[in-house]
């Protein structure tokens, strides 16, 4: 497995983040514990101390250079954020591990890479762009529906959609109590019934459920863009680490 490595870590981003004092939830998120929102819950649960004193106020600020922060009595410190773009093949699981022994996205990373996780999951039968990172705050912003970040997919079906179903895809299809909607859909290739679809919600198996509602079958489903990331120059089953510039651009749009 070949990995194109363009940088080791984003020290410049880390230095910017760690300048002066920062809010405690932001500091904990930079340590890779969770998103800022989830870190607020950790604080309110009384699990955090700063210099030996309980820290239960969300307004608490810390100096990353001098303060000793502990969670559940374990000292924590900011991680070097790492970002990998992976071209997921069909049959690979978007998970850190699989109880049934199936290959996961993590299996395609170098063995020396410490804890990272997938952002913007794809189901087992789908392929294409997956981001892997230990930046919990960025992961939250890219995947939470309230941020409405666009994800572009190529959807091949066994038959074309007529005008009625093209309109339904855009207006919304109710399924199992959820309203499934495509922000944009347009035909890309008449011969292969291929469509470009932009989603801003990302509900579970959304495009497959919408296709089934239209009486069509998914032949192939591939994600090719997410935020500022574009799937290019990465072969199926391979990954590469983002450059500092790519990571900065990704963070800027979130």
- What is the CA angle 103-123-111, rounded to 5? 30
More confidently predicted of 228 and 6: 228
The token pair that represents 71 in the structure block:
């969670």
pLDDT of residue 2 exceeding 70? no
Q: Average the pLDDT over 34-40 and give the result.
A: 87
Fold (topology level) of 83-144+232-252: Alpha-Beta Plaits (3.30.70)
Of 18, 137, 108, 111, the C-alpha closest to 69 is: 18
Statement: residue 46 has pLDDT above 90: yes
Superfamily name with CATH number, domain 150-226: Pseudouridine synthase (3.30.2350.10)
- Mean pLDDT throughout 234-252? 90
Does the pLDDT at position 253 exceed 80? no
Domain 19-75: homologous superfamily in CATH: RNA-binding S4 domain (3.10.290.10)
In three-state form (DSSP H/G/I as H, E/B as E, the rest C), the secondary structure along 189-253 is ECCCCEEEEEECCCCCCHHHHHHHHCCCCEEEEEEEEECCEECCCCCCCCEEECCHHHHHHHHHC
Do 150-226 and 19-75 fall under one CATH topology? no
Max Cα–Cα distance, the chain, nearest Å: 67
| pLDDT tens digits for range 6-34 | 333 443 344 344 447 899 998 998 887 88
Whether the pLDDT of residue 5 is over 50: the answer is no
Catalytic site residue from 67, 123, 175, 244: 123
pTM, whole model, 2 decimals? 0.74
Domain extents in the chain: 19-75, 83-144+232-252, 150-226
> In this predicted structure, what is the pLDDT of residue 120?
77
Q: What is the pLDDT of residue 254?
A: 62
How high is the pLDDT of residue 134?
A: 84
Name the band, by pLDDT with cuts 50, 70 and 90, for residue 126: very high
Q: What is the mean pLDDT of residues 175-200?
A: 96
Mean pLDDT taken over the chain: 87
Q: With a cut of 80, say whether residue 130 has pLDDT above it.
A: yes
Q: What percent of the chain has pLDDT over 90?
A: 61
DSSP per-residue letters across 58-105: TT-EE-TTT--EEETTEE-------EEEEEEPTT-BSSS--TT---BG
pLDDT digits (tens, 9 = 90+) for 64-78: 889 999 999 999 988
Mean pLDDT of 69-95: 91
Quick check: is 175 catalytic? no
pLDDT at 204 over 50: yes
Residue 251 has pLDDT above 70, yes or no: yes
């Amino acid at each position: 497995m070949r990995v194109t490595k363009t940088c080791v870590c984003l020290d410049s981003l880390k230095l910017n983040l760690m300048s002066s004092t920062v809010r405690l939830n932001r500091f904990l998120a930079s340590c890779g514990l969770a998103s800022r929102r989830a870190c607020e819950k950790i604080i309110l649960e009384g699990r955090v101390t700063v210099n030996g004193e309980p820290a239960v106020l969300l307004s608490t600020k810390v100096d990353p250079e001098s303060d000793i922060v502990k969670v559940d009595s374990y000292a924590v410190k900011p991680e070097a954020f790492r970002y990998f773009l992976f071209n997921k093949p069909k049959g690979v699981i978007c998970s850190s591990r699989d109880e049934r022994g199936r290959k996961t996205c993590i299996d395609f990373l170098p063995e020396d890479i410490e804890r990272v996780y997938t952002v913007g999951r794809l189901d087992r039968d789908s392929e294409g762009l997956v981001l892997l990172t230990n930046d919990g705050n960025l992961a939250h912003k890219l995947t939470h529906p309230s941020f409405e970040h666009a994800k572009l997919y190529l959807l091949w079906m066994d038959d074309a959609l007529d005008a009625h179903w093209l309109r339904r895809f855009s207006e919304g299809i109710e399924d199992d109590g959820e309203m499934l909607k495509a922000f944009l859909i347009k035909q890309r290739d008449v011969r292969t019934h291929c469509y470009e679809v932009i989603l801003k919600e990302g509900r579970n198996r959304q495009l497959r459920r919408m296709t089934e509602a239209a009486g069509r079958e998914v032949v192939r489903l591939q994600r090719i863009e997410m935020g500022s990331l574009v799937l290019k120059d990465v072969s199926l089953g391979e990954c590469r680490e983002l450059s500092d510039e790519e990571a900065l651009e990704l963070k800027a749009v979130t």
